[in-house]
A and B are shown apart, each in its own frame.
Chain A
Amino acid sequence: DGGITQSPKYLFRKEGQNVTLSCEQNLNHDAMYWYRQDPGQGLRLIYYSQIVNDFQKGDIAEGYSVSREKKESFPLTVTSAQKNPTAFYLCASTPKLQGGEQYFGPGTRLTVT
């Protein structure tokens, strides 16, 4: 389980507030990802980053923002522009040279009311 952490596990916010989800990894992985998962749904890619100071939009980037100032950290901000932010958010990382396997964090369940 160790190596990639997310905090907090549960997060509650009022509508209209921005909120930042933390993701940290000590695996020395190059790439990091953010996914959103709704009940009974698959994994939808929000943003990903292959290298420090660079990131790309995924399939559902609208209403979200990220930064990659350090290799170990890839925080996700859910802005007030995101229409339906309540979901389970998963962060993942991958060692580029090995390719493939994604290591997932434990997730953050965000509830916005």
Chain B
Amino acid sequence: GENVEQHPSTLSVQEGDSAVIKCTYSDSASNYFPWYKQELGKRPQLIIDIRSNVGEKKDQRIAVTLNKTAKHFSLHITETQPEDSAVYFCAAIPPATDSWGKFQFGAGTQVVVTP
């Protein structure tokens, strides 16, 4: 099955600086890579995703890059703000076949943005 590793586990940045979180995956068949943001006590919410036919996707201050050959993908947050403080999870999802049901999330990265 799929195995996803996420680094770092914690990340402290000064407001205005950039933050980068990296994930690696093991199943080369995985073709969908979402990123979730979870604020304290709240549900995880999708912030950006990328499919394997795309190398990069950007949405305002956040972007995701995918390297299929190396089997890793990264979340980039630019011009960080205090409201970016949260736990971020990555995931790697296989195609919608019989084995698709069991998703694998990374362990999460606690991002702290200090003013």
Q: Is B45 part of the contact surface with A, judged by Cβ < 8 Å? A: yes
Q: Which residues of A contact B44 (CB under 8 A)?
A: 43, 90, 102, 104
Q: Which residues of A contact B91 (CB under 8 A)?
A: 102
Say whether A33 contacts B103, CB under 8 Å: yes
Say whether B32 contacts A50, CB under 8 Å: no
Give chain A interface residues in 60-113, CB to chain B under 8 Å. 88, 90, 94, 96-97, 99-102, 104-107
Give the bracket for the number of chain A residues in contact with chain B: 20 to 34
Q: Which residues of B contact A105 (CB under 8 A)?
A: 43
Say whether A100 contacts B34, CB under 8 Å: yes
Q: Which residues of B contact A19 (CB under 8 A)?
A: none
Give chain B interface residues in 67-115, CB to chain A under 8 Å. 89, 91, 93, 95-96, 100-103, 105-108, 110
- Contact (A104, B43) CB under 8 Å given A48-B101, A50-B101: yes
Say whether B101 contacts A56, CB under 8 Å: yes
Residue of A nearest to B97 (CB): A99
Task: Give the interface SS of chain A, mostly helix, strand, loop or mixed.
Answer: loop
Q: Is B29 part of the contact surface with A, judged by Cβ < 8 Å? A: no
Q: How far is the CB of B97 from chain A (nearest CB, A)?
A: 10
Q: How far is the CA of A38 from the CA of B105 in the complex (A)?
A: 15
Q: How far is the CA of A102 from the CA of B103 in the complex (A)?
A: 9
Q: Which residues of A contact B42 (CB under 8 A)?
A: 106-107
Q: Is B46 part of the contact surface with A, judged by Cβ < 8 Å? A: yes
Q: Which residues of B contact A40 (CB under 8 A)?
A: 110
Q: Is A45 part of the contact surface with B, judged by Cβ < 8 Å? A: yes
Chain A residues in contact with chain B, CB under 8 A?
31, 33, 40-43, 45, 48-50, 56, 58, 88, 90, 94, 96-97, 99-102, 104-107
Known A-B contacts: A96-B96, A99-B32. Give 8 more (CB < 8 A): A41-B107, A41-B108, A42-B89, A49-B101, A90-B44, A99-B93, A99-B100, A104-B45
The 5 closest A-B pairs by CB, nearest first: A100-B32, A104-B43, A42-B107, A99-B96, A42-B108
Chain B residues in contact with chain A, CB under 8 A?
32, 34, 41-46, 49, 89, 91, 93, 95-96, 100-103, 105-108, 110
